[in-house]
């Protein structure tokens, strides 16, 4: 029992704050680190108040700003890493909203972009607030950064659609900043005494610029991935690429070179009722696709238009040339399937790609005619 006070004293000494003059793990921010540790030491040594809470040292808001600055490098690195992993616009917006709160400080951040209408900005993602995100809107993007209060929202105008944030979410102020060409960042703050400094606005701008670069990368990724997407059964481009491929071929033929389009209906290519089972049907489908790819040549392209239809786009080929290509395919597939073709030719001039594909489909013999099922 006699040793207990000494043990308690040792524990108290172990947990007592160390001296302010310590070695900073952040050499570049030595003064900032010293200020942060000094504030913590002062707070730990403060006398308890009547209600049992520790007495906070003066200028707590200033220290919190210093503490955020101390953590800024690590948080910006984490933000950059999350943006680098983003593959969709939604993931970019989610990263921007989350890290704006962590880096600048606040309760929540909303990213407003044109969605249903280019004239109205709405939240890009669900902010996870109590109010209905569908009710939030900004009539026009802000021309410059600024603070929006409940008075501005109640007065109507471009910020009237932000009223639920003040009425339902208890927002004291919104730090509103431009984002991209026609977007806005709305950082919600619930503290009445919060003042947004110049470095807060600069950080919002930097975070927005990084998010814009990530959005451009996602768009480029989609552009690169779309041509690479193909029908998994055949390896041919899918029906979503038909119009783009025909449009490209027509544009290349603007100087008078013809373009032939052949719609091939191949009996049994769907494979649902193949007499030798689905495995043989899959092998037949791949064989026909390979033959169609060879028939298209280096300049043309073969696309799977439907289960039993393949579209050949042949730049520089006339209808006669396309007929010869189809005849060669029929000869090679004569013992396995029947091939029916609708062929159209387009010379230089105005053309809507969907019309060209439709004309080729209309040129197919009717089902039940000429042996077609």
pLDDT exceeds cutoff 90 at 96:
yes
Pick from 45-49, 65-69, 237-241: least confident: 45-49
| CB-CB contact of 71 with 147 (8 Å) | no
pTM summary value: 0.52
Mean pLDDT of the chain: 77
Contacts of 343 (CB under 8 A, 6+ apart): 260, 261, 262, 263, 319, 322, 323, 326, 360, 363
| CB-CB contact of 184 with 141 (8 Å) | yes
Q: What share of the chain is helix, strand, coil (3-state, %, to 5)?
A: 50, 15, 35
pLDDT exceeds cutoff 80 at 125:
yes
pLDDT exceeds cutoff 70 at 239:
no
| CB-CB contact of 314 with 297 (8 Å) | yes
Instruction: Report d(CA 108, CA 72) in Å as an integer.
Output: 18
pLDDT exceeds cutoff 70 at 20:
no
Domain segments of the chain: what residues?
239-362
CATH T-level topology, domain 239-362: Alpha-Beta Plaits (3.30.70)
Q: Is 305 exposed, middle or buried (0-12, 13-18, 19+ CB in 10 A)?
A: buried
Per-residue pLDDT of 168-188, as tens digits, reads: 999 999 999 999 888 999 999
CA count, 13 A, side-chain hemisphere, 53: 4
In the structure encoding, which two tokens stand for residue 82, read together? 């999350």
């Amino acid at each position: 029992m006699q040793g207990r006070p000494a043990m308690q004293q040792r524990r108290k000494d172990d947990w007592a704050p160390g001296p302010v003059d310590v070695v900073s793990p952040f050499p570049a921010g030595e003064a900032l680190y010293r200020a942060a540790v000094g504030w913590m030491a002062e707070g730990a040594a403060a006398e308890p108040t009547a209600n049992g809470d520790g007495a906070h040292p003066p200028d707590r808001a200033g220290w919190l700003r210093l503490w955020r600055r101390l953590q800024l490098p690590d948080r910006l690195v984490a933000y950059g890493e999350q943006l680098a992993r983003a593959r969709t616009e939604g993931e970019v917006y989610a990263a921007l909203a989350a890290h704006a709160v962590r880096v600048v400080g606040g309760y929540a951040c909303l990213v407003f972009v044109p969605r249903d209408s280019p004239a109205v900005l709405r939240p890009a993602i669900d902010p996870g607030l109590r109010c209905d995100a569908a009710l939030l809107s900004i009539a026009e993007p802000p021309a410059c950064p600024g603070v929006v209060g409940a008075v501005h929202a109640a007065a109507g105008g471009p910020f009237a659609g932000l009223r639920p944030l003040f009425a339902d979410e208890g927002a004291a102020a919104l730090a509103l900043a431009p984002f991209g060409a026609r977007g806005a960042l709305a950082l919600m703050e619930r503290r009445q005494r919060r003042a947004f400094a110049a470095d807060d606005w600069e950080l919002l701008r930097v975070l927005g610029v990084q998010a814009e670069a990530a959005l451009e990368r996602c768009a480029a990724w989609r552009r690169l991935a779309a041509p690479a997407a193909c029908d998994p059964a055949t390896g041919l481009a899918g029906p979503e690429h038909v119009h783009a491929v025909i449009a490209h071929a027509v544009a290349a033929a603007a100087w008078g070179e013809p373009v032939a389009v052949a719609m091939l209906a191949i009996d049994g290519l769907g494979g649902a009722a193949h007499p030798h089972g689905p495995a043989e049907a899959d092998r037949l489908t791949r064989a026909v696709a390979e033959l169609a790819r060879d028939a298209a040549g280096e300049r043309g392209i073969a696309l799977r238009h439907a289960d039993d239809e393949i579209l050949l786009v042949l730049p520089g080929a006339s209808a006669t040339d396309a007929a010869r290509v189809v005849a060669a395919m029929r000869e090679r597939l004569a013992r396995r399937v029947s091939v029916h073709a609708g062929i159209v030719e387009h010379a230089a001039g105005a053309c809507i790609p969907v019309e060209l594909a439709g004309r080729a489909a209309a040129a197919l013999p009717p089902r039940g005619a000429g042996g077609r099922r």
